[in-house]
Structure 1
């Protein structure tokens, strides 16, 4: 029985350490994406047609 208590306490401590490391990483900016905004401008945006507009061809696929 005492072994189970030791394992539970140890696992809670380890989980708390990992949770603290995660919050530290988020707070210090480790997950900030600085690469994607500079590359995003190189891709074309897909233009969506408004409902009711278009060429009237219901079978045409959007490219």
Structure 2
């Protein structure tokens, strides 16, 4: 059985992280940044079907 997994492109994750680091430099709290990170990652993510090793 194949399960769907949420994935994000590496380039998108890096961009989100860079922007959040800039926000941290401006004084945002870690708690606020964690909430923002989760929201941004969800908005950039998409579903893929996980392929079992033996199916490759």
For the superposition of Structure 1 and Structure 2, which TM-score range results when normalised by the shorter chain?
Answer: 0.3 to 0.5
Greater strand share, 1 or 2? Answer: 2
Could you tell me the TM-score, scaled by structure 1's length?
0.31
Could you tell me the TM-score, scaled by structure 2's length?
0.34
Greater Rg over alpha carbons, structure: 1
Higher relative contact order (CA 8 A, sep 6+): 2
